[in-house]
Structure 1
Amino acid sequence: MANDTTGAVGPPLPKPAVTNIISEDTGEEESWKHRPPYRIQSLEEFGPVKWKGTCKCGQIAYYLNRDKPLKAKFCHCRGCQVMHGAPFQWAAIFHKADMFFAKGASGLSFYSSAHQTREYETPTKVYCSFCHSPIMDEGRNVCLIFPELIDFGEDKLLHTMKTFYPSCHIFYSERCLEIMDGVEKWSGMDEDSELMDDRGNVKKNS
């Protein structure tokens, strides 16, 4: 559905509500609801929709107006394995302004690993409050969305390979299986750890 902004992205986007207007009575603890990606806005203000993502139950929908992520990665850290119940996490990085939720913060739940709290604070993990699908990891400056939620249409493989396929693996030293794809692999964070081969051996020239 890339570049399709003729209605294929779902029902009309909601008009800004009066609750999106920040008043003098809005507390700092609630001000995040009025900033991207939670601030509800019109389609004209947001710009052409390139991608749409939804949770499993369909309660949560978000839109992206950027063609490609800033970067995409496979993360093999233990935290991602536990939180996703999967061998690794697939994340694509976008600016917060590249994204908005159709219903704002409504229907979302949050979890901060740092303080083990469900109160909103960044960084935070974001879920659908009904089906509990992982939606994204929100950092202080960017959002790490999970491409599995995006509707790629009939050309799913083509779009994921060309647009969202990761440029690297991170925390590969914590992997629970080996990925023989020849893609750059880092023992920890990319550009800040040792390079490894597909088998997990540290490269001598890293």
Structure 2
Amino acid sequence: MAFTGPAEPLPCPGFPSKPSRSIQGEEWKHRPPYKIQTEAEFGPIKWRGKCLCGRVAYILKREKPLNAKYCHCRGCQVAHGAPLQWATIFHKNEMSFIHGSSNLVFYSSTHKSQEYGLPTKVSCGNCRTPIMDEGRNVCLIFPQSIEVEGSNDERRRKMELLRPTCHIFYESRMTDVPDGLPKWRGMENDSDRLDGQGNRIDGPSQ
């Protein structure tokens, strides 16, 4: 029997609020994180990132994100071609594209459109590397594109700053993840807590 897909749009857990319509014209180019500014204007740089082909590059001035999460919802699985999405949350003014913003492409899973409107998925138009999901106030940046120098061990130690604090939409997981982090059936602090096998629990998550 052919799979016809869900009747409703796949969930967008990072931005559960009602989406906005597209921003008129190219207004988005003149505000963070797309607004062009020098590194001196931006401030001290804590992280640098770029897409696979290198056409899109960005900088971050916050060392530790506001939060970081693993998302197991079906929408993230399909969009990333992976069992889960790892996202780090930053304010928009803490990120700046230093080149390649003209190569960015957008996709609204809510409106099924490439017209810019919040929330939107942002990727490189050339190599299609996912860069972030942009909401009204924050960006969910995918840290796989962040460049960290050093040996593998040194890179892992530095990336601990970006380590997720929990799993969300864990009920939709493709595999169990017994990593000791809190797990939620849906959104964090707004759904049942689950153990590593997906069972509802009342105590601290496993």
TM interval, shorter chain, is 0.7 to 0.9
Aligned positions of 1:7-156 closer than 5 A: 28-103=24-99, 105-154=101-150, 155-156=154-155
Deviations 1:22-79 (A, max 9, x none): xxxxx94211110000001011210011100110000100000011100000000000
Q: What is the CA-CA distance between 1:153 and the residue it aligns to?
A: 1.2
CA separation in 1, counterparts of 2:158 and 2:169? 25
Count of residues in correspondence between the two structures: 179
Structure 1 stretches of 5 or more lacking a match?
Answer: 1-26
Between the aligned residues of both structures, percent identity stands at 55
Let me know the Cα RMSD of the aligned residues. Answer: 1.3
- Is the Cα contact below 8 Å between 1:38 and 1:104 reproduced in 2? no
Unaligned runs of 5+ in 2: 1-22
Q: 2 CA distance for matches of 1:156 and 1:73?
A: 19
Task: Measure, in 1, the Cα distance between the counterparts of 2:109 and 2:60.
Answer: 26
What is residue 172 of structure 2 aligned with on the other side? 174
Residue identity opposite 1:74 in structure 2? Y
Shift of 1:156: 1.1
Query: What is the match of residue 10 of structure 1?
Result: none
What TM-score does the superposition give when structure 1 sets the normalisation length?
A: 0.84
Offset of residue 197 of structure 1: 0.6
SS at 1:160's partner residue?
A: helix
What's the offset of the Cα at 1:104? 6.0
One-letter identity of the residue aligned with 1:151: E
2:105–2:123 contact (8 Å) kept in structure 1: yes
How far apart, in 1, do the equivalents of 2:123 and 2:114 lie? 11
